[in-house]
A and B are shown apart, each in its own frame.
Chain A
Amino acid sequence: MTAWFQSFGITYEWSWFTATMIGILVIALPLMLAVAMIIYAERKIWAAMALRRGPNVVGPFGLLQSFADGLKVALKETIVPTSANKGLFLLAPIISFTVALIVWAVVPFQPGVVLADINVGLLYILAASSLGVYGVIIAGWASNSKYPFYSALRAAAQMVSYEVSIGFVLITVVLYAGTFNLSGIVEAQRGNIFGILNGFGFNPLLFPMAVVFLISSMAETFRTPFDLTEAESELVAGFQTEYSSMSFALFWLGEYGNVILMCALNAILFWGGFLPPIDWAPLYVIPGIIWLLLKMLLFFFIFGWVRATVPRYRYDQLMRLGWKIFLPLSLFFVVLISGWLMLTRYGA
């Protein structure tokens, strides 16, 4: 698109700037729409699992329910508690929301269709997701209230703990792919297994890591069974307790944006991203973005399924899973996989 702008006689820098701005809008606006629809989808999934009907009043089949909720939230008053730290209180949801959006810059939707094709894509994702914790901590502290503060402490500890094992899981993927670039990682999965199946997840050495990553991504996005930060039976609504109106909605949008992102990452890192699951020419007729969306929806269904059926963990169980099970397991697999690659790929 940069070249197209340049054909009008605009300098390279400004045409790059304009093209990037348009690219950001092209990603962010559908993402917001996707968040609205996916909230509706998730409510329908939970309803079906609980033998209820779910939202079915607003619009055909209740499709417009999320928009009605959004409108209602936007019309409410933004309340700032008197003892709150005003600036930080209002800054926190903005941080959460922004951080949830910036990660999408490196997600490849099709071969070559990615906003920023940088060679440290995976590190960028790690860096951006480690920023996400600030929205929660600042919200908890600035609210100047007990429950949000407890929630902020829990959130910080939980995110830091699970990021450790996520880091090691990512290292196993990078070892296999030989690159940090996300498009490169997807391409490395083409015909990965006997030249037939596309996806690291089909590899018996990497499949356990795919499972660890799926569970860790649930913990990283504070989804049930790991939603200790907003456990309503203990902490009212956690760090969101004092928030109302759009500041509350921004947390909500950011949270679901992160959930969709984690679904995309699961698909990209382990299940072939925009490649069809089987390396067979007729399947490539379907555009890559359709395959990616299908895989994301599958993972989203799994996320919703788990949330609908699994009870919440206790906090010590959460920490035990992160530090005593996932960390040694992923460390062991880093050693195992690098050893295996030395034997087969780089040996002799």
Chain B
Amino acid sequence: MIALLAFYLFATVTIASAVLVIFARNPVHSVLWLILAFFNAAGLILLTGAEFIAMLLVIVYVGAVAVLFLFVVMMLDVDFSSLRSGFSRNLPFGLLIALVLLAEIVIAVGARQAGPVLARSAAAPAANVVPNIEALGTALYTRYLIPFELAGLILLVAMIGAIVLTHRSRGDVRGQNANRQIRRRPQDATRNTRPVSGEGVTL
């Protein structure tokens, strides 16, 4: 009963906020609706018993990716009316992509019900027997070790590539050298003198 109520609550909010992502006039509101959709999707995943994936969704998408989205969108100085002018022109293309995605989901679900690619023994272990994290860890670090490590390596290369491509060292900027600042002591920077009156000091 409560699980059912929770499901309908999460599902309704997910769909409503997903629709509002498109229809919100302000891009920042769009991103905020998107975050709400992520969050409720995490709730739905939680209801199916995949608590690890749900937490990851919140940590990665809500906590990191969406923050960056929001960051960028907030900083942009956009003209909201011009953003909406292309709506009718891009509508057929958008509908096409939506159709393709829908077809893919249907095919994937259908194919899964027709019989899994791998043997039945490789299917996810029954819930409540092994915790999610252990089951995932066992699968990732034994059976799928090489693909998993390769994926990590590719991501690392992509990250380094992004840093290398965007990092420019500008010669005319004086950076802060924290080590030098910490090493600086009063006796190195100042000088005690006892000047004779009327003669001044040499600097």
Contact = CB atoms under 8 A, between A and B. Distances in A.
A160 interface: yes
A153 B35 contact: no
A316 B176 contact: yes
Interface string A128-160: 001101100110010000000100110010001
A131 B63 CA distance: 6
Contacts of B133: 119-120, 180
Contact of B56 (A17, A88, A123): A123
A120 B58 CA distance: 13
Q: Chain B binding site: helix, strand, loop or mixed by DSSP?
A: helix
Contacts, number: 67
B64 A130 contact: yes
Interface string A298-319: 0000000000000000101100
Contacts of A297: none
B79 to A, nearest CB: 17
Interface residues of B, number: 24
B52 interface: yes
A230 interface: no
Contacts of A133: 63, 67
A306 B67 CA distance: 30
Contact of B63 (A14, A118, A120, A127): A127
B178 A317 contact: yes
A163 B55 contact: no
Interface string B117-141: 0000000000000011100000000
B35 A134 contact: yes
A130 B32 CA distance: 15
Interface in A94-121: 118-120
B132 to A, nearest CB: 7
B16 interface: no
B74 interface: yes
B178 A141 contact: no
A127 B74 CA distance: 23
Contacts of B28: 141
A163 B63 contact: yes
A124 B55 contact: yes
9 contacts: A13-B1, A14-B2, A88-B29, A118-B51, A119-B51, A120-B132, A126-B59, A130-B62, A156-B70
